[in-house]
Amino acid sequence: MSILTCPNCGAKNRVDPTKARQTTPVCGRCHEPLPPDAVGPSGAVDASRPVELTDATFAAFVQTAPVPVLVDCWAGWCGPCRMLAPTIDQLAAESGGRYLVAKLDTDANQRTAGALGISALPTLLIFKGGRVVDKVEGIAPKPVLAARLAAVR
């Protein structure tokens, strides 16, 4: 058994990793599905891959994260967003648990995008303790993004 924090309500959930790979686990408190792409082999958040956030999961995820969170605000029609996607995946793979990487589809999650004041794509936000501490609009090279993440720790 592993403990997985619900990104929606913050409740701690015991998850059997073998069952989590077969079915989508749900939170025992709010009954929202726990993000399947966030459940790694141990049942914990897999820091080596970006976590897909939604309007329902965004706030709890960034507020309860024990490390800084890089959020990639993107849209499927955005060419620069698609160009930046491999860099975002590489940053997640290289995070080593020092930070988490998440993605927010602004078309599918307009409430959160509006609350964040997203006016350009791609927009990268770095959260620490649930608050935005840095913002990058447009494409930035991986070394620049890595340096900005390192400065937040």
What is the spatial distance between Cα 117 and Cα 122, in angstroms, rounded to a whole number? 13
Closest CA to 20 of 37, 2, 7, 39: 39
Active site residue 9: no
Per-residue DSSP letter, 78: -
* Pairing mode, strands 131-137 and 123-128: antiparallel
What is the spatial distance between Cα 98 and Cα 47, in angstroms, rounded to a whole number? 9
Largest CA distance in the chain: 42
User: Which residue among 6, 27, 73, 81 is the active-site one?
Assistant: 81
Contact 30, 56 (CB under 8 A): no
Active site residue 27: no
Mapping DSSP onto H, E and C, the string for 20-55 reads HCCCCCECCCCCCECCHHHECCCCCECCCCCEEECC
Active-site amino acid positions: 78, 81
